[in-house]
A and B are shown apart, each in its own frame.
Chain A
Amino acid sequence: MSSQSDASRPAPALVPRLPRLVEVRQNVLKHNDVVARALRERFQRGGVFVVSLVSGPGSGKTTFLEKTLTLLRPRYRVAALVGDLATENDALRLARSQAPVKQITTGTLCHLEAAMIENAVEGWDIGQLDFLFIENVGNLVCPSSYDLGENLRLVLISVTEGEDKPLKYPTIFNSADVAVITKMDLAAAAEFDSTAADRNIQAVRPGMRVLRVSAKTNEGMNDWLRFLSTLRDSPQARPGGPYERRQRIDNGDDHP
């Protein structure tokens, strides 16, 4: 009998089911952004100025940072976090500057996230620092999506990489505040076209500040350190970084 009543019932699959669309509106990286915002507040309370460095592999981030730490150390309390896929080589190199350095080994992860910075500085007395540097994993793509709570993001390109890097990676240039052209001592040998590099940077990020340095010969290093000290000492001089801009847009108080 039961089979009869089953047969008389319409097959469930034939009943049209209309899906309903419900609005959600959630930033996919909200968890990272929440951690980054808390970090930025914590850094600000502690009076530490945080600079992150992004670039492709081999652009000279570590050498540039080692030199920066060495030159800053007589006058400022500095420390560094360094992200690397597998090795501790960069941390060992940076430690030669005598500054406290902590390695963040990301394994197969191609970028740093705010939670890794939070873990790395756990137990640190942030108030004891003037500058904290964060060297991201060598990658010109993935780090652009992640806010690390930094005050200033540098994107580095070396003269040996070619002047068109900005055109190939406009997103990372848009996520950064300042461009640093490294290995200037090799510019002539690499036939580096400085004008073209400037033009390309300005094309993808109009108004971007560009610094030219050689960590080997110290060319441009004084300008860089002066720039850094000014930013730290006068917060009003800080460029409106992408995060601040994004926040203004989020809050709806940007242009209509």
Chain B
Amino acid sequence: MHELSIALSIVELAQEEAERRGGVRVDAVHLRLGPLAGVVKEALLGSYDMASAGTAMAGSRLIIEDVPIVVYCPRCQAQRPLSSMQWFCCPECNTPTGEVVQGKELEVVALEIEE
């Protein structure tokens, strides 16, 4: 359970960004999260309020966009969405592939701010 420390990093990052923009108030933080980031979405959402309490980010919301895993299939020579985390293979031709193109994301992509 390291979601609280991840939540603290998100709060810190958003706060720095808000300060850089002249101390604007942040309503929401938009995060992109891939299944291979090793972070549990529900636990992160649960930790966010605790992490933001008592900071300038208190009361802001965390909005998480799930990023699907995309692999590169060497046979099709194309990017394909993965159908199961328990089976890394091309959903079209069943070729096994460990070339992860997307799915490890853990990034703040946008802030909703009040002006």
A interface list, Cβ under 8 A from B: 17, 19-31, 109-111, 141-142, 144-145, 167, 170-172, 174-175, 202-208, 245-246, 249, 254-255
Contact = CB atoms under 8 A, between A and B. Distances in A.
Contacts of A30: 13
Contact of B101 (A19, A205, A255): A255
B86 A25 contact: no
B106 A28 contact: yes
Given A21-B110, A27-B106, 4 more contacts: A22-B111, A171-B85, A206-B89, A255-B79
Contact of B109 (A17, A25, A110, A145): A25
25 contacts: A19-B27, A19-B28, A22-B111, A23-B110, A24-B13, A24-B17, A24-B108, A26-B17, A26-B107, A27-B107, A28-B6, A28-B13, A29-B6, A142-B38, A170-B36, A171-B35, A171-B37, A202-B96, A203-B86, A203-B96, A204-B85, A204-B87, A206-B98, A249-B101, A255-B72
Interface of B: 1-2, 5-6, 9-10, 13-14, 17, 21, 27-28, 30-31, 35-39, 72, 79, 85-89, 96-101, 104, 106-115
B10 A110 contact: no
A206 B113 contact: no
A27 B109 CA distance: 9
Contacts of A205: 88, 98
A145 B107 contact: no
B62 to A, nearest CB: 11
Contact of A170 (B14, B30, B85, B89): B85
B2 A23 contact: no
B13 A26 contact: yes
- Which 3 A-B residue pairs are closest in the complex by CB-CB distance? A206-B96, A144-B38, A145-B38
Nearest to A27: B107
Contact of A145 (B17, B30, B37): B37
Given A111-B2, A208-B98, A28 B38 contact: no
A152 to B, nearest CB: 16
Nearest to A145: B38
Contacts of B21: 22
A96 to B, nearest CB: 31
A146 B98 CA distance: 19
Nearest to A167: B86
B97 A145 contact: no
Contacts of A207: 96, 98
Contacts of A249: 101
Best-buried of A111, A145, A204, A254 by chain B (most CB within 10 Å): A145
Best-buried of B21, B28, B36 by chain A (most CB within 10 Å): B36
Given A24-B110, A28-B13, A255-B72, A206 B2 contact: no
A43 to B, nearest CB: 23
